[in-house]
Amino acid sequence: MKLSFASVAILSACFLHGVGDSPLLAADSSVILLTIDTLRADYVGCYGSPHVKTPSLDGLAADGVLFETAYCQVPLTPPSHASILTGRYPASHGLRDFTSGQYKKGIASFATILKERGYRTAAFVSAFVLDESWGLSEGFDLYYDDFDLEQLQGTNPGNVQRRAEETVDRVLPWLGKAQNPFFLWVHLFDPHHDYNPPPPFDKEYSSNLYAGEVAYADQQIGRLLQALQKAGLYQDSLIIATSDHGESLGEHGENEHGFFLYEAALRIPLIVKLPASYDTSAQRSDTIAQTIDLLPTTLQVLRLRQEEDWGIEGRGLLSHMLGKRKETGFAYAETYYPQTSFGWSALRVLRQGNHKYIEAPRPELYNVAEDPGENSNLYRVNQPLAHQLRSSLLRLEQGFMVPDEAVTDQPDPESVERLSALGYVSVTQPIRAQASKNLPDPKEKIDVFNRILTGLQAAEAGQFRQSNGILEEIAGQNPEIFIVHYSIGQNYLRMGRPDQALERYEMAAQLNPEFTSVHVSRARALSELGRYDEAARLLEDVTEAHPTNLAAKRVLASVYSRQRNLPAAISIYRDILARRTDDMLAMKSLGVILVEQREYEEGLARLDEAIELGLEDAQLRNSQGIALANRGKLEEAIQAYRRALEIKPDFALPRLNLAFSLLQAGKKNEALEEFDKLCQTSPELCRRYRSRFE
């Protein structure tokens, strides 16, 4: 493979900062961005890690510039990537946590800026947390986020992510066909919890599986770098490697990330290899860098003028990389996760020089150069410095804070709830709390938070009774945490106890009436209890107030179907498909109802579309068989029924339909055999139709 153009590659496991005047012409240069999720700086070899070998990143650092201190702006995947792509702080792009919904449409980003300048744009993401529903796909010609969500059973996080090897396998053919100039973003997710590296890394790092995941991700980075070298693109490429956030491995009582703002979760690797025309190999920069600096730095390299209306808040770092300027720099970070999901205080950070201030009900001040573990709080010892940093933090926030009404619609609850499979306690409506100073300090609640996670992990493993045992104890001690009551209700519903589920949903709704997911779940419970009219009224109220709430629409359509109000159900599914043309579940549901309405041609077309998109479902195949049989395609119908029974052997309807189709096809012995099997699983259907087979 030979490409005759220069390339600017940005790999994100460490990241790019400012390049002043570049001899490369923007029209000649392509941009590649790679982000390695959940990678802390001290787990990379070139940062001095004793834990893991990372030869690919180390080699990149040997050819480029390593930033010793780089910070993410929020330790959660969607909002952090939004900051990377837009060069804005979370408050300015509107995506702050899982309650924020999509970031504001129309914001300038890597993809939109470069696309307007003739770039082909493509993204390959490895986890559902970066699904296009968060709004990050704007400006991309291709946004590969194909996850088989309909098969998600809630017990295996692997169902909502893909390994790095599979993602890179998708990238390399695209790269081989790409026409310059292009912008390519590649996201790898493997270091994220849970830690299950593939062989041989599972054995080599059996005592530290997180390190094994990092080593595996580094290996796959090597594949991409080798492809660039083979194509003759490496030397003239700008390669940036960074992460969206780090990972707490028990520090300060936190496992994973998102809850606290200590170094383990905020400090990330950032390595930049400039095109060969720059002599910057094997250099280190001690300026403090932020992920929002990535976009303006790239614009410097491409010699593109930064427009004021793009709203970029980061700074270009080219002059630092070229050794022309020395500035200490600063970094801001935040987490509103404790506040919006639990009613505890938000946390914000300002790092200047060696000191780091954490704004909290019990403020913290650390000299991270002397105390990298942040074990000695200097707040009371050095009040003047603490107050100075706090004032700087507040002034910074005044420059980018936006009113609540400027934030986008709430995220789809159906999407957000799937994040629980990745270890997040996530909700769709934030708790409207008073000022953070009146809320509990997250430091006081870390044990409660960890117990909630333990309870939810038990539920994800299908251990609903064990989960409720843990959560009931928490609810008794912390009755104000609505998400606990809601989660107990979810467990009861999965256990087939809708009456008890409804009781807990009512408690959660009283604590957070704006939490639309609880109203959707209430409707599910009411429907299971046969109270269809109440369920429909509740869901009609939700969908009227929140027209984009996909989960509510799906459940309402299901309730309408049970009420035999099929035209109303059809209307909802058509509306969903008008907004989401590749929604497999809506295609299947619409197809099933249309077949039931004897609209076989359109019904079959919808079912076939769902199958082509990768959905396999016994009900789908049964309806497909019915449509085929009624269109005179008997042999194809027989195959559809057989496929339904492969998926669900005890499903009585396709067994009965198969027996009738075989009988109609003149295969009486096979028909009798299938009918005998039906009689073993459904005596009622056996009695009703026995005379047809005698």
DSSP state of 19: -
What the block records as the tokens of 126 is 């490895």
Phi, psi of 382 (to 5 degrees): -130, 65
**What SS3 state is found at 41?**
helix
Residue 237's pLDDT is: 81
Out of 4-8, 411-415, 457-461, give the one with best mean pLDDT: 457-461
Q: Is 465 helix (H, G, I), strand (E, B) or coil?
A: helix
User: What is the average pLDDT across 538-550?
Assistant: 90
What CATH class has 530-615? Answer: mainly alpha
Residue 672 is inside which H or E element, if any?
A: helix 668-681
Q: What is the pLDDT of residue 460?
A: 83
**Is a pLDDT exceeding 50 seen at residue 408?**
no
**Length of the chain, in residues:** 694
Query: What tens digit of pLDDT does each residue of 39-60 get?
Result: 999 999 999 999 999 999 999 9
pLDDT digits (tens, 9 = 90+) for 606-651: 999 999 988 889 999 999 999 999 999 999 999 999 999 999 999 9
- Residue 266 pLDDT greater than 90, yes or no: yes
Q: Is the pLDDT of residue 536 over 50?
A: yes
How high is the mean pLDDT of the chain? Answer: 88
pLDDT over 60 at 12, yes or no: no
Model confidence band, residue 101 (pLDDT cutoffs 50, 70, 90): low
Give pLDDT, residue 17: 35
CB atoms within 10 A of CB 633: 15
With both helix axes pointing from N to C terminus, report the angle between 550-562 and 516-528 in degrees, rounded to the nearest 10.
20
Q: Residue 147: which region, alpha, beta or left (left: phi > 0; alpha: psi -120 to 50)?
A: beta
pLDDT at site 28: 72
Taking 80 as the threshold, does the pLDDT of residue 304 lie above it?
Answer: yes
pLDDT at position 415, please?
54
Which regions of 148-214 does DSSP assign to beta strands (E)? 182-188
At residue 19, the pLDDT reads 37
- How large is the average pLDDT for residues 124-130? 89
Q: What is the largest CA-CA distance in the chain?
A: 95
SS3 365: strand
Q: Is the pLDDT of residue 488 over 90?
A: yes
Lowest mean pLDDT among 244-253, 463-472, 507-516: 507-516
Domain residue limits, the chain:
7-324, 432-528, 530-615
pLDDT tier, 24 (very low <50, low <70, confident <90, very high otherwise) = very low
Averaged over 666-672, what is the pLDDT?
94
Strand, coil or helix: 2? coil
The HSE-up count of residue 105 (CA atoms within 13 Å, CB side) is: 4
Backbone angles phi, psi at 181, to 5 degrees: -85, 155
Which structure tokens are listed for 540?
């009609």
Q: What Cα–Cα distance (Å) separates residue 622 from each residue in 109, 263, 610, 631? A: 46, 54, 14, 14
Contact 603, 629 (CB under 8 A): no
The pLDDT score that the predictor gives to residue 231 is 84
Listed residue (347, 348, 354) closest to 385, CA to CA: 354
pLDDT of 23 strictly over 90: no
**CATH code matching the domain that covers 432-528, chosen among 1.25.40.10, 3.30.465.10, 3.30.300.10, 1.10.3720.10:** 1.25.40.10
- Quick one: angle between helices 634-647 and 652-664, nearest 10? 150
Give the pLDDT score at 431. Answer: 55
Nearest to 341 by CA among 445, 250, 438: 445
Provide, rounded to the nearest whole percent, the portion of the chain with pLDDT above 90.
70
Q: Is the dihedral of CA 369, 374, 376, 381 positive or negative?
A: positive
Fold equal for 7-324 and 530-615? no
Separation of CA 320 from chain center: 33
Burial code of 380-391, b = ≥16 C-beta within 10 A, e = fewer?
eeeeebbeebbe
Q: How confident is the model at residue 65 (pLDDT cuts 50, 70, 90)?
A: very high
Closest CA to 639 of 617, 654, 619, 656: 654
Residue 403 has pLDDT above 90, yes or no: no
Q: Which of 82-96, 230-244, 260-274 has the lowest mean pLDDT?
A: 230-244
Element (H or E) spanning 359, and its range? strand 355-359
Q: What is the model's pLDDT at position 588?
A: 95
Fold category of 7-324 in CATH:
Alkaline Phosphatase, subunit A (3.40.720)
Q: What pLDDT is recorded for position 570?
A: 96
pLDDT at 279 over 90: no
